[in-house]
């Protein structure tokens, strides 16, 4: 599928299911998660409110942990700015991405630093019904790869 001039606001809008895997150093599985996410229109034509919730199964002890997270996505043409919308970081910038038509992906313009740990993410737009988010987190305190595959909910 080719997205020469994607309408990223329309692309992400709606409800999605996701599967997530988290790997640590040496590709050791940390956990697997599944859940649901939605991108709902905000107050402006460029704003999307993202909300996810799900269950994480930790590989070490098979414990299941419920989670939820919220972000705001400001979509401006081929650039997406992501801002924390919950927790102590609410209102702070997380990451920014620019669409690359050749790779059909949103690639990082800015990374997020949490103390000295660096978060780099990219979105691969597979087709109208699915996309992947890969986030690499590395630094003195963290060494993770988080891979999330989103599939649009029917209807």
pLDDT at 1: 47
Mean pLDDT to the nearest integer, 72-96: 90
- CA–CA dist 62, 100 (Å, integer): 39
Q: Which two tokens stand for residue 114?
A: 């949490």
Half-sphere exposure (Cβ direction) of 86: Cα atoms closer than 13 Å: 10
87: left (phi over 0), alpha (psi -120 to 50) or beta: left
Nearest residue to 74 via CA among 48, 92, 50: 48
How confident is the model over 35-73, as pLDDT tens digits? 999 999 987 779 999 999 999 999 999 999 999 999 999
How confident is the model over 101-127, as pLDDT tens digits? 999 999 998 765 566 777 789 999 999
pLDDT at 114: 65
């Amino acid at each position: 599928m080719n997205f020469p001039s994607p309408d990223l606001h329309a692309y992400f809008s709606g409800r999605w299911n996701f599967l997530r895997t988290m790997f640590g150093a040496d590709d050791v599985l940390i956990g697997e998660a599944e859940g649901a996410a939605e991108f709902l229109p905000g107050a402006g034509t460029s704003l999307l409110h993202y909300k996810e919730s799900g269950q994480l199964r930790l590989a070490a002890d098979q414990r299941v942990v419920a989670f939820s997270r919220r972000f705001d996505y400001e979509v401006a043409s081929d650039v997406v700015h992501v801002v924390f919308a919950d927790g102590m970081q609410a209102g702070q910038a997380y990451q920014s991405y620019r669409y690359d038509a050749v790779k059909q992906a949103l690639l990082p313009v800015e990374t997020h630093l949490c103390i000295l740990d660096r978060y780099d993410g990219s979105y691969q737009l597979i087709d109208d019904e699915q996309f992947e988010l890969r986030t690499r987190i590395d630094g003195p305190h963290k060494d993770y790869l988080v891979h999330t595959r989103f599939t649009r909910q029917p209807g």
